[in-house]
């Protein structure tokens, strides 16, 4: 009875995202960006600043690789005139290079081909999406955020998204972890057992690059060398809204710029 009365008192707590805006999703500091019009760092300053090598300075441009950033905020604390927290949960990108800001020179035609290919492969996922989560050496933080996707606040079931225990029933492999050597073969077998076409989502900085474990003997430094990845989600860990944005991107329900289809 207490939970029933609490439900009547609080009303609907489920977010309206993506059908409508959500203040928390729009303001959550999910990434780091480089301020415009500031003097660039020297290569030595950039190398000494970030523990995972996410910050580089070359050709007079300072860049942040969000796929390597663990959000320790050391850069924003020591160089607030250069770096700032970027609000918004739409941090996932198609090609791995899309996680580098400011964007590097890349062919617009090449990016459009990648997006068109993903949209063609995921056309049948628009109404229903089954997700198989694979832990490829995670520290456990991403799993807490993934579990939150099924609670009353995010409730991905309302969007026709469901977790499945079998890769044979899955449309998407949601992979976490730095890609440990012991999980390379199980990940490959899981991928091969999944019905085609399958979309692979690398969830978290560890999955994108290895994070703080990138140089460890026990990992492959992320999933890039283990399997083809379609959507990369930075964050250590990524928030449920960032994961939801990535799944919508994987299902072809939004574009890389966040526009709904």
Same domain, 73 and 150: no
CATH value at residue 50: 3.30.70.20
Average pLDDT on 147-168 reads: 95
Each residue's pLDDT tens digit, 24-45: 999 999 999 999 988 889 999 9
Distance CA 253, CA 60 (A): 38
- In this predicted structure, the answer to whether residue 242 has a pLDDT above a threshold of 90 is yes
Instruction: Examine the fold and report which residue of 59, 89, 119 is the final residue of a domain before the chain moves on.
Output: 89
11 token code pair: 């009303």
Residue 110 is predicted with a pLDDT of: 62
User: In this prediction, what percent of the chain has a pLDDT beyond 70?
Assistant: 87
* Residue partners of 139: CB distance under 8 A and separation at least 6: 177, 206
CA-based R_g, the chain, Å: 19
HSE (side-chain half, CA atoms, 13 Å) at 157: 9
Which of 43, 59, 89 is the last residue in one of the domains?
89
User: For residue 77, what are the domain limits?
Assistant: 23-89
pLDDT at 5 over 60: yes
Same domain for 112 and 84? no
Who contacts 69 (Cβ-Cβ below 8 Å, separation ≥6)? 31, 32, 50, 52, 54, 205, 234, 236
- 4 within a domain of the structure (yes/no): no
78 lies in the same domain as 125: no
Residue 85 forms part of a structural domain = yes
Q: Residue 28 region, left (φ>0) first, then alpha (ψ -120 to 50), else beta?
A: beta
Number of domains into which the chain is organized = 2
State pLDDT tens for residues 114-151.
666 776 677 767 678 999 999 999 999 999 999 999 99
Q: What is the pLDDT of residues 40-88, one digit of tens each?
A: 899 999 999 999 999 999 888 999 999 999 999 999 999 999 999 999 9
d(CA 258, CA 261): 9
Helices assigned H by DSSP within the chain: 2-10, 23-27, 43-49, 74-78, 108-121, 141-148, 184-193, 205-209, 240-250
Is 234 domain-assigned?
A: yes
97 within domain boundaries: no
Rounded to the nearest 10 degrees, the angle between the axes of helix 240-250 and helix 141-148 is 70
Same domain, 175 and 243: yes
Task: Look at residue 108 and tell me whether its pLDDT is greater than 70.
Answer: no
Report d(CA 119, CA 244) in Å as an integer.
17
CATH number at residue 118: 3.40.50.12280
The confidence score (pLDDT) of residue 104 equals: 65
Largest CA distance in the chain: 65
C-beta separation of 181 from 218 below 8 A: yes
Domain assignment present for residue 257? The answer is no
Does residue 15 form part of some domain?
A: no
Is 99 part of any domain?
no
Query: Does the predicted TM-score (pTM) go above 0.75?
Result: yes
Residue 52: what pLDDT? Answer: 95
Q: Please tell me whether residues 140 and 73 are part of one structural domain.
A: no
Residues 51 and 141 in one domain: no
Say how far apart CA 152 and CA 157 lie, in whole Å. Answer: 10
Q: Does position 256 have pLDDT exceeding 60, yes or no?
A: no
- 58 within a domain of the structure (yes/no): yes
Q: Is the pLDDT of residue 261 over 60?
A: no
Judgement on whether residues 53 and 124 belong to the same structural domain of the protein = no
Same domain, 33 and 71: yes
184 & 152 share domain: yes
| 128, 208: one domain | yes
């Amino acid at each position: 009875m207490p939970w029933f009365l609490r439900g009547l008192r609080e009303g609907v707590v489920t977010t309206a995202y993506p059908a409508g805006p959500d203040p928390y999703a729009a303001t959550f500091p999910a990434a780091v960006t480089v301020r415009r019009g500031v003097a660039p760092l020297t290569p030595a300053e950039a190398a000494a600043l970030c523990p995972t090598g996410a910050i580089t300075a070359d050709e007079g441009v300072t860049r942040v690789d969000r796929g390597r950033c663990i959000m320790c905020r050391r850069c924003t604390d020591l160089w607030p005139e250069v770096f700032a927290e970027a609000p918004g949960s739409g941090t996932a990108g198609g090609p791995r290079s899309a996680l580098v800001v400011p964007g590097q020179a890349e062919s617009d035609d090449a990016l459009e081909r990648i997006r068109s290919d993903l949209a063609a492969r995921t056309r049948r996922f628009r109404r229903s999406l089954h997700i198989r989560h694979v832990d490829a050496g995670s520290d456990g933080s991403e799993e807490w955020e993934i579990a939150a996707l099924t609670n009353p606040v995010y409730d991905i079931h309302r969007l026709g998204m469901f977790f499945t225990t079998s890769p044979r029933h899955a449309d998407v492999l949601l992979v976490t972890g730095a890609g440990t050597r012991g999980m390379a073969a199980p990940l490959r077998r899981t991928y091969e057992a999944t019905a085609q076409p399958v979309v692979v989502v690398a969830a978290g900085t560890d999955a994108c690059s290895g994070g703080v474990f990138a140089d460890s003997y026990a990992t492959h430094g992320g999933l890039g060398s283990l399997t083809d990845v379609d959507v990369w989600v930075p964050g250590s860990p990524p928030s449920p809204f960032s994961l939801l944005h990535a799944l919508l991107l994987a299902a072809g329900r939004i574009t890389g710029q966040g526009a709904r289809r």
